[in-house]
Amino acid sequence: MREKKVLCHGGIWDRGRLVREMTMAVKDGYIETIEEGFCPELLEDADEVVDLEGAVLFPGWIDSHLHIPGSLLFQLYGADLQKGSSTDDYIRAIRECGAEDGWIRGFGWNAPVLEKEGYDRLAAYLEQECRDTPVLLFSDDYHSCMCSPCALKRIAGAGIRVEPDRYGIVKEKDIFQLTARLEELSFPEEQIETAIMRYQEELLKLGITAVQTLMFLGGNGDREWKVLRRLDMEGKLKLKVNLALTVQPYEDLSRTDSRFARLKEYETERIRVHTVKIYMDGVLENGTAFLKEPYEGSQRRGACVWEQGRLRDFCRRMDREGRQIHIHAIGDGAVGAAVDGLVYAMERNGTAGRNRHVIAHLQMAAREDMELMGRYGIIGAIQPFWFPQEQWGYGLDAVCLGDRVKDEYPAWSLLQAGVRLTGSSDSPVTPQPDPVTGIRLAAERFCEKERVPEEEMAKAFTENGAYQLFREQEIGRIKAGYRADFAGYEGIPVGKEKEKKSRLCFVMADGEAVRGHALSVRSAV
């Protein structure tokens, strides 16, 4: 027998259109029908009636680029450095962290803090006070890792070759080797499960019901996905999750097919696999973002992680096999290389727009590359949380880019070039990934010419996100036939009808309340 639930005395917001009063029937987690106004006849055969008490339903928000389970494994079982604002704070967190399995794993140090206060002090502390303890401290962007001398000895003993600088810091290529090959870096399964469940609660609390997750922070590339699938089989997973296989250019690319097939084994109704993820460059903060012109006051431009011929071949093969390619590209040089590889593949395969390839971050991008993205249907996954809100907010970016800093994060320019934008946080780089906050920050950013209207950014966090996840026929809209995934608000949080006071009062996933509450009654209302 199918369960019928009727929601009434509330409104809906969909594609910028607001309906203040509607009645909705939901069966088995899907929207069956929506009628404007109060429709008592829909209540006649309802198994349950939900009085929304004036709340307005938005589609469940979609974060199109983040990392499950955020920094929670490090918060719960390691050294949490994200809250620190000084070297002393970092040292205190390390000192207070237990090393139950012999290792201390930390996450969240910030390059500008250490530039100001000195890498030397932290490196000296690790050498002197952690002489017999292996310590690995990941930066808040996960692109640098400071290793204690003891950790470097363990790494060498495992036959892994890395190239640390004088502070014991290794960067992208070496980090990815560590996480893939050094089993001790991965947290145990029971800790991974706890962190995933806690992270799910944090996302649901913000109204996020679907995500594209990239590299898992704290896993080994296999056990985390096994845990995630088990949670879904046990009915504990409420999020819709798209997984991605991370591929490095130094790997044996002939193994990509078997690795991707292995990841496909974790698919369920809620867990989908369409995507391979690659890194084109690093980040500005550590000088590894790849720029077309040198860094300010320097001859360095950073470097492209992939050799262009190898990138083209890889993109052509993945595109031909129907896989979505999701590319990290920060600098305009990296974006140009990524666009070249994707366009090369789609031109030869005749697949323009078919596989919904994605370039994420796009901190710098040349106009000609943005226009090619629009022409070939390449999605731009942007993080509005990073858009400077005041002139002083450019910080280290201004040091790295000089006058070019005014052109960073070209969100409106991407839209004008015809690029479909999706909204995301890159959590845990963004500690509080509230989509409503991201929407506001995009509309109110300091650089007026690149502001994005709230309605457009809301679309990026809903139907455009669903499109990126190949789920546009089931989520991202409020219409008949779609999943009943909603974020319910008292007051309108975004758009032309935005109200000064609004709050998220409940969240529903597949028609079931998963956060907050809604008054449920059986009698006719």
Per-10-residue mean pLDDT, the chain, length 525:
86 95 96 97 92 96 97 93 94 86 89 87 95 92 92 91 93 77 80 97 98 89 91 97 93 89 94 97 92 96 96 97 98 98 98 97 98 98 97 88 96 98 97 97 97 98 98 98 98 93 95 75 48
Quote the distance between the C-alpha of residue 467 and its chain's center. 15
Continuous H helices in 132-171: 149-157
* pLDDT at residue 1 in the model: 44
Can you read off the two tokens belonging to residue 60?
A: 């469940």
* pLDDT at residue 112 in the model: 87
Residue 42 and residue 20: Cα distance in Å, rounded?
18
| R_g of the chain, CA atoms, integer Å | 23
Can you read off the two tokens belonging to residue 51?
A: 């009085």
Residue 277 and residue 280: Cα distance in Å, rounded?
10
DSSP assignment letter at 390: S
With beta carbons less than 8 A apart as the criterion, state whether 109 and 137 touch.
Answer: yes
This prediction has a pTM of: 0.94
* pLDDT at residue 2 in the model: 62
Q: Give residue for tokens 């597949």.
A: 510
DSSP assignment letter at 198: H
Instruction: Give φ, ψ of 153 to 5 degrees.
Output: -65, -45
Q: Give residue for tokens 């070297």.
A: 87
Q: Tell me whether strands 486-490 and 56-59 are parallel, antiparallel or unpaired.
A: antiparallel
With beta carbons less than 8 A apart as the criterion, state whether 164 and 152 touch.
Answer: yes
* pLDDT at residue 516 in the model: 75
* pLDDT at residue 520 in the model: 56
Name the residue type at position 283.
V
